[in-house]
C-alpha cells in the first residue's frame, strides 16, 4: 500500500470532492452529453458517483491501495492500477477526467499518463496543481501550457 493514501487522506477530500462535482458536472453536461466517463486517479470515486447519478456509465482507475469497501461507486467499476506505470485504457469513453491526480505522479510518468487519458476519450476534463500550490505529494506540479 502506498503509505500516504490512508483512509484519513481520502476522508480529508471526500466531502469537498463531492460538493465540487455536484457543481461542475451539470456545467460540463450543458456543453457535452457524455454517456460514459472514466476518471484516472479517482480515489474513492466521489466525482464518478455524481456522474453515475446523472445517468452515466462510469469507470474509475486508481492504485490498489484504494479500499474497495469505501468506494462511492460499485466495486466492479473500479480498476486497480498504479498510474505511475503506463496504463492502457480498457475501452473508449465519451469523457475522461483526471482531477488533482497527475501532479502526484513522477515526472517520467507524465507523458505516458497524458497518452493514456487522451487515448481514453475525445474529451478530457483535467486539473493538476501548479508550482508551489500547497498539498500532499505534489511532486510534479507544472504551469499550464
Please check the confidence at residue 53 and state whether its pLDDT lies above 90: yes
- Structure-block grid coordinates of residue 102: 497527475
Domains, the chain: 33-144 (3.40.50.150)
CA dist 109 and 40 (Å) reads 13
Q: Where is pLDDT greater, at 126 or 94? A: 94
Mean per-residue pLDDT, 7-32: 85
- Output the average pLDDT for the chain: 83
Supply the pLDDT for residue 122.
Answer: 97
Please check the confidence at residue 82 and state whether its pLDDT lies above 70: yes
Which residues 6+ apart lie within 8 Å of 5 measured at CB? Answer: 63, 65, 66
Please check the confidence at residue 48 and state whether its pLDDT lies above 80: yes
CA dist 94 and 36 (Å) reads 5
Strand partners, 38: 59, 96
Q: Which of 41, 96, 46, 45 is nearest to 63 (CA)?
A: 41
3-class secondary structure per residue, 48-74:
HHHHHHCCCEEEEEECCCCCHHHCCCC
Q: Where is pLDDT greater, at 78 or 13? A: 78
Mean per-residue pLDDT, 30-34: 97
Please check the confidence at residue 4 and state whether its pLDDT lies above 80: no
Please check the confidence at residue 109 and state whether its pLDDT lies above 50: yes
Please check the confidence at residue 91 and state whether its pLDDT lies above 60: yes
Pairing of strands 78-80, 57-62: parallel
Amino acid at each position: 500500500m502506498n503509505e500516504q493514501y490512508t483512509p484519513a487522506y481520502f476522508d480529508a477530500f471526500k466531502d469537498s470532492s463531492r460538493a465540487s462535482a455536484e457543481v461542475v458536472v451539470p456545467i460540463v453536461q450543458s456543453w457535452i452529453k457524455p454517456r460514459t466517463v472514466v476518471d484516472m486517479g479517482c480515489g474513492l470515486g466521489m466525482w464518478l458517483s455524481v456522474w453515475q447519478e446523472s445517468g452515466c456509465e462510469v469507470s474509475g482507475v486508481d492504485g490498489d491501495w484504494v479500499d474497495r469497501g469505501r468506494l462511492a461507486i460499485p466495486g466492479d467499476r473500479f480498476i486497480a492500477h498504479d498510474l505511475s506505470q503506463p496504463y492502457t485504457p480498457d475501452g473508449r469513453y465519451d469523457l475522461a477526467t483526471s482531477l488533482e491526480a497527475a501532479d502526484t505522479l513522477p515526472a517520467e510518468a507524465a507523458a505516458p499518463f497524458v497518452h493514456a487519458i487522451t487515448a481514453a476519450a475525445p474529451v478530457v476534463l483535467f486539473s493538476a496543481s501548479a508550482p508551489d500550490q500547497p498539498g500532499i505529494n505534489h511532486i510534479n506540479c507544472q504551469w499550464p501550457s
